[in-house]
Chains A and B, each alone.
Chain A
Amino acid sequence: MKEGNALEVDAITVRFGRTTVLENLSFDVRRGTALAIIGPNGCGKTVLFKALVGALPHEGQIRWAGGTRLGYVPQKLDIERDLPVTGQDLLRAKARVSGAADEEGGLALDMVGLARELSGKSIGALSGGQFQRLLVAVALVGGPDVLLLDEPTAGVDERGQETLNDLIDRLRVERAMTTLLISHDLSVVYRYANNVLCLSRGHACFGPPKAILTPALLQEIYQAPVAFHVHDDGPRS
């Protein structure tokens, strides 16, 4: 493992039966940096995350830096909305399983700017933005070094998206965390990511946003012209 790397992925291939979803994919992620993963639907972004956390069998090697603690923010939860499970239940469960103090849940809520009284509500009663913040708070319990975020702003209104993206970036800087973010919002990728991994049918590309988010390359990845808004203060070096 190279000094300063949080993650090294070496020639991984993931197959479902006869279908190859990821093929011979390699990339490194430096500690404390933000990697954005982009690509059209069905290109294997979530599959890559599942392989990274050991939930899917794969060929090739995935190496996390020694002692790495992962936090995961899923894209969506496959549960009924009317379950009597509250944010507090989730935060407490994560704390107990990770060996963290129960108070970490409250601190995580403060960190993501979610009122503590909202954690007493059932998760189905929370708005899209509140729920996504709760999921980030749950991921933070246990003090992760790396956050994997699978479209954390999906289903959140535009203002909420901006707040959440700022929050994730602030957490990365303040807590010296490494973040891996799946996003369809290329302006967010351009603004916040240090590196971009693009997955597309048949091939992948990796590099800084300026090199990857070019009209020609995006056309090749998405098979259609793609435009996005560039913020005045991005991209990151």
Chain B
Amino acid sequence: MGLDPSALAISVVAGAAAGLVGCFAVMRRMTLAADAISHIALPGIGFAIALHVHPTLGASAMLLVGTLLIWGIETKTRIATETIIGVMFSTALAVGSMITSGEALIEALFGGTGRLTPVEVVLGLVVAATIVTFILRQRHRLVLALVSPEIARTAGIDVARLDLRFLLVFALTIALGLRYLGVLLIGSLVIVPAATGKRLARNLNEMLVISVAVAVLSTTLGTYAASVLHREAGPLVVIVAATCFFASLLRRTPDG
């Protein structure tokens, strides 16, 4: 297996997108949600395979529907996001594992093999650019809403709409990395680099920069190592990210 330049390009942009989205997911205490929400893609992949359409298309559609459902239930019932995601996650896992089987299920869980098509590469780059632009443009609104929805509201922010847009971008990030890392591992690319950034940074900009750096390092080094070791990239990407996080524990912070 040689090093595929298009896979490398996608790994860089997917890393940047995941690193940025992850910062706000971690600060919003969505650490477990990131892992759980990715499972919502599973039935979508199953349906897509059954209907002979691209699995990522099915996964993206299911993530979109799932995200709108989570937001809708949360807004109407005021049940905690984590509870709703917990219910959705187990339901999706049950339905997904019933309709997806064998090799397709393993690929959906741990990431795909084979070269990306030109359409996949272009689509991946466009989606990643959309995610990066959203977070960079909305970061001030996101930080105010995170700290206090009332402060955000009095500053003219439609908090419910911003929450929905963030959840959609979050789902898009999961969809972007699915083919690459699979349902089980994509959550860690969103969370682990951001957790490393949170530990090392002294302010918001530093957290964004460190998180993106760790995520891009993980995806590129993981992809390169996969080509050298003739292994799947997904697990190697997560191992690099986790190594960065554990290394960050060596640095003393003011809190100890």
Contact = CB atoms under 8 A, between A and B. Distances in A.
Interface of A: 49-50, 53-55, 70-72, 74, 77, 79-80, 82-86, 88-90, 92-94, 96-98, 120, 122, 125, 138-139, 142, 144, 148
B73 to A, nearest CB: 16
Given A84-B198, A85-B143, A94 B150 contact: no
Contacts of A77: 147-148
B27 A86 contact: no
**Main secondary structure on A side of the interface with B:** mixed
Contacts of A84: 197-198, 201-204, 206-207
Interface of B: 27, 29, 139-141, 143-144, 146-157, 159, 197-198, 201-207, 254-255
A88 B151 contact: no
Contacts, number: 86
B203 A53 contact: no
B245 to A, nearest CB: 15
Nearest to A142: B155
B202 A86 contact: yes
Nearest to B149: A55
A138 B143 CA distance: 13
Contacts of A70: 154
B140 A96 contact: yes
Given A55-B149, A97-B156, 10 more contacts: A49-B150, A55-B159, A70-B154, A71-B154, A84-B202, A85-B27, A86-B204, A93-B139, A97-B144, A122-B202
11 contacts: A55-B150, A72-B151, A74-B151, A80-B29, A82-B255, A88-B203, A89-B143, A89-B203, A89-B205, A94-B140, A120-B203
B143 A53 contact: no
A96 B154 CA distance: 14
Nearest to A121: B202
Contacts of A96: 140
A98 B151 CA distance: 11
Nearest to B253: A82
B202 A93 contact: no
Given A74-B148, A79-B146, A93-B144, A53 B154 contact: yes
Contacts of B159: 55
Contacts of A54: 153
A94 B27 contact: no
Given A84-B198, A97-B141, A55 B153 contact: yes
Nearest to B210: A84
The CB with the most chain B CB atoms within 10 A, among A71, A90, A120, A125, is that of A90
Contacts of A50: 150
Contacts of A72: 148, 150-151, 153-154
Contacts of B27: 79-80, 83, 85
A93 B24 CA distance: 14
Contacts of A80: 27, 29
